[in-house]
């Protein structure tokens, strides 16, 4: 059974800092991994999708890497801004799970002005 964990559970940083969020998964037989952000009481917004054959994806100030063999992914946020404050979740999808997604518990990020 696939399990996804995220470290840290919460993070508070001053504006302008670069930061790294971590995601770990127990079964490396994944098809893809996706990072989301969620604002309180809202739906999830897709940030980046990494296919299992890829090592990283970039979008603006965001960079996500994937090391499938070690069961890890990191989300790097450059020059953080108060608008980045949200909960960040990673999710893995694999054929072993009937194309179902398994979500991590999320990292709650606060960027202080």
Where does this chain bind another protein (CB under 8 A)? 31-32, 34, 36, 41-46, 49, 89, 91, 93, 95, 97-101, 103-106
Nearer to another protein, 42 or 61 (CB): 42
Task: Kindly state the tokens that stand for 92.
Answer: 């893995």
CA distance 45 to 43: 7
Min separation Cβ 18 and another protein, Å: 26
Q: What are phi and psi of 83, to 5 degrees?
A: -65, -10
Over the Cα atoms of the chain, what is R_g?
14
Nearer to another protein, 80 or 94 (CB): 94
Min separation Cβ 110 and another protein, Å: 16
Nearest-5° Cα angle at 92, 106 to 101: 90
Min separation Cβ 107 and another protein, Å: 12
CA distance 75 to 81: 15
Nearer to another protein, 15 or 95 (CB): 95
Nearer to another protein, 46 or 110 (CB): 46
CA distance 103 to 87: 13
Min separation Cβ 80 and another protein, Å: 23
């Amino acid at each position: 059974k696939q399990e996804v964990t995220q470290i840290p559970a919460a993070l508070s940083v001053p504006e302008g800092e670069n930061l790294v969020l971590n995601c770990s998964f127990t079964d490396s037989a994944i098809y893809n991994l996706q990072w989301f952000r969620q604002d309180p009481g809202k739906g999830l917004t897709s940030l980046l999708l990494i296919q299992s054959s890829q090592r990283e994806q970039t979008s603006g100030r965001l960079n996500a890497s994937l090391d499938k063999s070690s069961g890890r992914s990191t989300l790097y946020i450059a020059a953080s801004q108060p608008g980045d404050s949200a909960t960040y979740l990673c999710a893995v999808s694999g054929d072993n799970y009937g194309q179902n997604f398994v979500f991590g518990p999320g990292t709650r990020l606060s960027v202080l002005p």
